[in-house]
Structure 1
Amino acid sequence: MPLLLAPMEGLLDFVLRDVLTRVGGVDRCVSEFIRITGTLLPDKVFLRYVPELHHGSRTLAGVPVRAQLLGSDPVCMAENAARLAALGPEGIDLNFGCPAKVVNRHGGGAALLQDPEHIALLVAAVRRAVPTQLPVSAKMRLGYHDASLARECAQAMADNGACEIVVHARTKQDGYRPPAYWEQIPAIQAAVSVPVVANGEIWTVQDAQRCRAVSGCHALMLGRGMVADPGLALAIRAADAAASGQVPEAALAPVQWPDLWPHLASFWQLVCNHLEPRQRAGRLKQWLNLLRRRFPEAEVAYQQVRTLTDQRTITIWVQAQQPR
């Protein structure tokens, strides 16, 4: 039952992908979207978003990374997909779900869900432009204003070469507000012959189990829930094993705060090594802020660093938190 790590612009980049896949339980990642706006991008842009291309398109933990493209011009998308394919990605994913106003205003992301015929042209163009053995998948929302075209959009993707469709079970209008409408996914699944992956509002093992039951999907994509609880994928796998009698429930141990500290330290080191100085303190605070949802200790940590901006001061603080 595949568990995928979601692409999340400004949050789930290569640094956090690296750390979360070290914790374990993830089968595949999808990169943040690479925006295609009318020019043929140089290799360095693809490598900046997906530095794992230097390592066989895998994180340092060995988890494959699929590169995601976002755009609305079939010719330009095809040309960039071909250039990206030459760098050896695990696959190429197409974004039909981004709700950002600036993206939608230019006809990209979720805006395309209003036009299944244009989706068909985009998917077909990319599929023709890359080697036949390279997977081309897609990620969509239920729709733009509503879910009335969800089945047609999914069919346009599957009929024109998408080998897998991830469905974020909300419309563009819903944004990220709870709930996710998992009950809308079975109709999409029934309309296509390719695997469908459910996504949205999976924060706990119980959420994962309910999502599977309601959506009919065994494969799940985890986003903010995995960032807030880096042990979520492992916990879902452990629950699956226990349900099948492979592991006694008493043996299931969730990832605890002390287990997480080496990963937080690694994250801070990677941030300092790879990101711009102005981004560093904010990225640590951003992750701690989400971790507060799962770990009471993260609230204490967040309050301690909330006003810190100096890298050296934060590094000293991180080192002081390491378990003795």
Structure 2
Amino acid sequence: MSADPSARRPGRVLLAPMDGVADVVLRAVLTRLGGFDLAVTEFVRVTSSLLPPRTFLRTAPELEHASCTPSGTPVRVQLLGGDASCLAENAARLAELGPAGIDLNFGCPAPTVNRHDGGAVLLNDPERLFRIADTVRRAMPAAVPLSAKMRLGVEAPTRALECAQALAAGGIDALVVHARTRDEGYRPPAHWALLAPIGAALSIPVVANGEVWSVEDYHRCRAASGLADVMIGRGAVSDPFLARRIGEARLSSDASEPLSPPVAERLRAAEWQRLLPSLAEFWAGVQTRVQARAAPGRLKQWLKALSVRYDEAGALLAVLRPVTSVAATADVLRAHGVPVRPVADSPFAAAS
């Protein structure tokens, strides 16, 4: 029996914002497969101007559908920038579109983003984090939730708690902490235990994030961090049924025994067959969102991630690698059992 207090709370599973990966199409596919309580969009870059509504709608078409994915998962819209006043003005405009919430990005490690005064580099100045959160919160209706996502720091985690407390004092309603510094990027391990003091010190919900690739990782993350809520990113892209399996594990009071290799392989093979309609949905949706020449690349991107768990995805990717046209891609998909659907049948076709 675990002494971890988070193990007695059901917690939530959130889909992480992943720029260039988890767009509206993949959000729809992953949340339809089940297990997610909330999703956060890719970031909307805020610099020095008040953005038009169409900019927010382009990143988050869910805003036209009660800020939910087609399966009903609420979607928060993420803003990235360093100008408190400009962020506040844009948050106020975004709030008029009825988002399920607004999220502030203090976690992006990308050098280009950091050089332009955005993302994780802002963690060098906790006072500035407070000013941004406070200014944005004051500009928004009280009924619209404001959350933030941060890392443990830039070079070292020494000011992680100070940063988290500054954001909480600024009025955010929830905080996601990626358990690595900016300079660590996505290199394992994630330092889940370093999240425990943050969760203990803050009165708002704190969500653990980083390096959750399996149900076992999920349980270890919760035990080490003491946090009930977990955000999953790359693990969900590579294993689209992970959130559902986590949900099933949360409903069970008994610790599940590890599956034998033959049983695990049969489960994985069955999952791949169940995933084929989702591949078809993704392929149809992508064609409504990007130019034809870019659509095969987006499919290959997801297949590369899927190949971490599914050998079949790697085999399909190998065949598709030299293919560049939409028509030829569709032919290969059909030959591999993917029930390719007309683009007109995609729920994204009407909005494109």
Please give the TM-score of this superposition, normalised by the length of structure 1. 0.96
**Structure 2 unmatched runs, 5+:** 1-10, 340-352
Return the alpha-carbon distance in structure 2 between the equivalents of residues 278 and 154 of structure 1.
Answer: 43
The equivalent residue for 1:88 is 98
- Matching residue within 37, 46, 66 for 2:76: 66
The equivalent residue for 1:44 is 54
Which sits farther off after the overlay, 130-139 or 185-194?
Answer: 185-194
The equivalent residue for 2:331 is 316
Give the secondary structure class of the aligned counterpart of 1:256: helix
**C-alpha contact (below 8 Å) 2:147/2:174 kept by paired residues:** yes
Which amino acid in 2 is paired with 1:122?
I
Return the alpha-carbon distance in structure 2 between the equivalents of residues 70 and 49 of structure 1.
Answer: 13
Return the alpha-carbon distance in structure 1 between the equivalents of residues 323 and 221 of structure 2.
Answer: 39
Give the secondary structure class of the aligned counterpart of 1:212: helix
The equivalent residue for 2:316 is 301
Q: Would you say 1:149 and 2:164 are equivalent positions?
A: no
Which amino acid in 1 is paired with 2:144?
L
Runs of 4+ in 1 over 4 A off after TM superposition: 252-255
User: Deviation digits for residues 187-206 of structure 1, max 9, x if unmatched?
Assistant: 11122111110000000011
The equivalent residue for 1:184 is 194
The equivalent residue for 1:97 is 107
**C-alpha contact (below 8 Å) 1:262/1:322 kept by paired residues:** no
Return the alpha-carbon distance in structure 2 between the equivalents of residues 17 and 4 of structure 1.
Answer: 11
- Matching residue within 287, 296, 302 for 2:302: 287
Give the secondary structure class of the aligned counterpart of 2:180: strand
Q: Would you say 1:23 and 2:38 are equivalent positions?
A: no
**How many residue pairs get matched?**
322
- Matching residue within 121, 140, 145 for 2:150: 140
Give the secondary structure class of the aligned counterpart of 2:147: strand
User: Deviation digits for residues 271-291 of structure 1, max 9, x if unmatched?
Assistant: 012212232111100100011
Which amino acid in 1 is paired with 2:53?
D
- Matching residue within 238, 255, 259 for 2:274: 259
Query: By how many angstroms is 1:5 displaced?
Result: 0.2
Which sits farther off after the overlay, 61-70 or 101-110?
Answer: 101-110
Which amino acid in 2 is paired with 1:278?
R
RMSD: 1.9
Return the alpha-carbon distance in structure 2 between the equivalents of residues 126 and 320 of structure 1.
Answer: 51
The equivalent residue for 1:116 is 126
Query: By how many angstroms is 1:323 displaced?
Result: 6.5
Q: Would you say 1:269 and 2:279 are equivalent positions?
A: no
**C-alpha contact (below 8 Å) 2:316/2:336 kept by paired residues:** no
Return the alpha-carbon distance in structure 2 between the equivalents of residues 152 and 194 of structure 1.
Answer: 15
Which amino acid in 1 is paired with 2:301?
Q
Query: By how many angstroms is 1:99 displaced?
Result: 0.5
Return the alpha-carbon distance in structure 1 between the equivalents of residues 325 and 255 of structure 2.
Answer: 50
The equivalent residue for 2:343 is none
After TM superposition, the structure 1 = structure 2 runs for residues 231-270 of structure 1, keeping only pairs within 5 Å, are: 231-244=241-254, 256-270=271-285
The equivalent residue for 2:18 is 8
- Matching residue within 196, 199, 219 for 2:229: 219
Return the alpha-carbon distance in structure 1 between the equivalents of residues 279 and 254 of structure 2.
Answer: 33
Query: Identity, % of aligned pairs?
Result: 51
Please give the TM-score of this superposition, normalised by the length of structure 2. 0.88
Return the alpha-carbon distance in structure 1 between the equivalents of residues 287 and 41 of structure 2.
Answer: 20
Give the secondary structure class of the aligned counterpart of 1:90: coil
Which amino acid in 2 is paired with 1:10?
G
Which amino acid in 2 is paired with 1:213?
A
Give the secondary structure class of the aligned counterpart of 1:170: coil
| 1:323 to 1:104, Cα distance in 2 relative to 1, 3 A | closer
Which amino acid in 2 is paired with 1:138?
A
Which sits farther off after the overlay, 269-278 or 41-50?
Answer: 269-278
The equivalent residue for 1:167 is 177
Query: By how many angstroms is 1:320 displaced?
Result: 2.8
Return the alpha-carbon distance in structure 2 between the equivalents of residues 213 and 195 of structure 1.
Answer: 16
Give the secondary structure class of the aligned counterpart of 2:152: strand
| 1:172 to 1:245, Cα distance in 2 relative to 1, 3 A | closer
Q: Would you say 1:56 and 2:89 are equivalent positions?
A: no
Which sits farther off after the overlay, 99-108 or 89-98?
Answer: 99-108
Return the alpha-carbon distance in structure 2 between the equivalents of residues 31 and 152 of structure 1.
Answer: 26
Query: By how many angstroms is 1:155 displaced?
Result: 0.4
Which amino acid in 2 is paired with 1:69?
L
Return the alpha-carbon distance in structure 2 between the equivalents of residues 133 and 268 of structure 1.
Answer: 37
Give the secondary structure class of the aligned counterpart of 1:171: coil
Which amino acid in 2 is paired with 1:135?
P
Return the alpha-carbon distance in structure 2 between the equivalents of residues 323 and 116 of structure 1.
Answer: 49
The equivalent residue for 1:125 is 135
